[in-house]
Chain A
Amino acid sequence: MKHPSEEHDLIRWIDGEMNEAERTAFEERLKQDPALAKEAEQMRALSASLRTHLPAEMRVPHADYFNTQIGVRITQMALDEARAKQSGSSWISALQWLRQPWFALAGAAALALLGFFLLGPNASGAAESMILSSYTPNTHVQARTYHDDAAEATVLMLDGLDPVPSEKKVSGIHVLRSEVEPELASTTMYDKQGAAVLMISRDALGNPMISPRG
């Protein structure tokens, strides 16, 4: 066993943490002590291997799902807090509005559409996409689709929905799907400030999940 100061000198030399005078003195000691010199070189080689084989950045498995789940949790937290703090306020009425059947329907329809895109045999070519069927639980709402050549996208139209109340600002919708795991997708609706109002995704079992819940 070495004295702690010897241990510290050894690793400070390996890590380049010595000043010039200390380094010169330590290297003199190495010349006089072959066993210490051998240990120092082995430890230095180990250190170099560690730096080579332990990457500072790694590919995150299911990276898109990683982001989506963070978004879902953040949205849920924000709305839970708002609900707790502002009982009876506009947030609550916004939630009530979001819970309208048509809104959930829009989310489910969006998911169904995404699912088709991704599971279709020729998903890579938008022009080859084809909607085989659609289903709307609310019979007052009709779903229809068409292919927009300019946008190179299939557009889903939902007719018969209630108009969005003017005071409820959903100013943007972002649909994200995983390139690695095609079944993973999420739809987030934002207000003017960029805050997420509602997120539609899937849980671990693949069932549609709407945040905020209930």
Chain B
Amino acid sequence: MPASASTDPGEVSDLDLVKRSQAGDTRAFDVLVTRYRGRIYAMTYHLIQNETEAWDLAQEAFIKAWRALPTFKHDAGFYTWLYRIAHNVSYDWLRKKKIQGDGEFDDERTEHRVAVGAEAAPKGDLAPDTALRNAELGQRIQEAIAKLSPEHRQVIILREVEGLAYEEIAALIPCSLGTVMSRLFYARKKLQEQLHDVYETSL
């Protein structure tokens, strides 16, 4: 699961801050918010792909965490626990949007018909990061991520950004290991399809 942020020597530990927060100390909780807001916001942003909504959902996650603090048992790291809350908040939002959008994301229905990519694209000698400037490639990747279904986007973020193991992803979603692997495969195929010019010319 995601590890907590490394703390400087002398910095108050998560455990101390959580205990104080559980006793009602909002200043301690404010320190936790400051410590983890960047990571929680990154996760909601990658999942939602909208700055305003991601900001609101990250805030919602911290509010939910505050309300749930009495149930926090210290058997998991605070960040891992917080991350689950933020993930669930964001993913619920995505699913509602998917339902309201009436098929805005449709790659779930077509994942077994994914093309292998532009096989006929000419090869070149440039590596991806030299074919496109980093910023441009980053923008292309963000746009490609935004076109994935919530389910595919979710596994890509959990694996590539958070570095979770398959078992951890399966437990978080929750779903079977086979589903995790299939979603990862087709999510990557979709991304590959959208970015085929980058990777075709690099190999």
A contacts, CB < 8 Å to B: 1, 4, 7-8, 10-12, 14-15, 17, 38-39, 41-43, 45-47, 49-63, 66-67, 69-71, 73-75, 77-78, 174, 188, 190, 193-196
Task: Give every chain A residue within 8 A of B198 (Cβ-Cβ).
Answer: 49
Q: Is the CB of B141 within 8 A of A50?
A: yes
Task: Give every chain A residue within 8 A of B28 (Cβ-Cβ).
Answer: 194
Shortest A203–chain B CB gap in Å is 15
Q: Mark B34-64, 1 if CB is under 8 A from A, else 0.
A: 1001110110011000010001001100110
State whether A60 and B38 are in contact (beta carbons under 8 Å apart), knowing that A11-B184, A70-B59 are contacts in the complex: yes
Binding-face segment, B7-15, B84-92, B97-105, B156-164:
B156-164
Shortest B177–chain A CB gap in Å is 9
Q: Mark B14-29, 1 if CB is under 8 A from A, else 0.
A: 0000001001111111
Residue in contact with A10 in the complex, picked from B39, B185, B202, CB distance below 8 Å: B185
Shortest B36–chain A CB gap in Å is 9
Task: Give every chain B residue within 8 A of A1 (Cβ-Cβ).
Answer: 112
Question: Does B70 have its Cβ within 8 Å of any Cβ on chain A?
Answer: no
Main secondary structure of the interface of A (DSSP, over half): helix
Task: Give every chain B residue within 8 A of A71 (Cβ-Cβ).
Answer: 26, 30
Task: Give every chain A residue within 8 A of B159 (Cβ-Cβ).
Answer: 15
User: In the bound complex, what is the Cα–Cα distance between A39 and B66 (angstroms)?
Assistant: 46
Give the residue name and chain of the B residue nearest to A75 (CB).
B26
Interface residues on B, range: 35 or more
Give the residue name and chain of the A residue nearest to B52 (CB).
A61
Task: Give every chain B residue within 8 A of A45 (Cβ-Cβ).
Answer: 128, 199, 202-203
6 cross-chain pairs, A with B, having the tightest CB-CB distances, nearest first = A194-B25, A58-B42, A53-B138, A195-B24, A7-B185, A50-B160
Task: Give every chain B residue within 8 A of A78 (Cβ-Cβ).
Answer: 24
Task: Give every chain B residue within 8 A of A67 (Cβ-Cβ).
Answer: 30, 33-34, 37
Residue pairs across A and B with CB atoms within 8 Å: the count is 141
Task: Give every chain B residue within 8 A of A70 (Cβ-Cβ).
Answer: 30, 33, 59, 62-63, 66
Task: Give every chain B residue within 8 A of A7 (Cβ-Cβ).
Answer: 181-182, 185-186
B contacts, CB < 8 Å to A: 20, 23-30, 33-34, 37-39, 41-42, 45-46, 51, 55, 58-59, 62-63, 66-67, 112, 116-117, 128-129, 134, 137-138, 141-142, 145, 156-157, 159-162, 165-166, 178, 181-182, 184-186, 188-189, 191-192, 195, 198-200, 202-203
Q: Is the CB of B63 within 8 A of A39?
A: no
State whether A53 and B134 are in contact (beta carbons under 8 Å apart), knowing that A8-B178, A11-B184 are contacts in the complex: yes
User: In the bound complex, what is the Cα–Cα distance between A133 and B37 (angstroms)?
Assistant: 38
Give the residue name and chain of the A residue nearest to B27 (CB).
A194
Task: Give every chain A residue within 8 A of B160 (Cβ-Cβ).
Answer: 47, 50-51, 54
Shortest B98–chain A CB gap in Å is 21
State whether A47 and B188 are in contact (beta carbons under 8 Å apart), knowing that A12-B181, A61-B51 are contacts in the complex: yes
User: In the bound complex, what is the Cα–Cα distance between A69 and B60 (angstroms)?
Assistant: 10
Q: Is the CB of B191 within 8 A of A46?
A: yes
Give the residue name and chain of the A residue nearest to B43 (CB).
A56
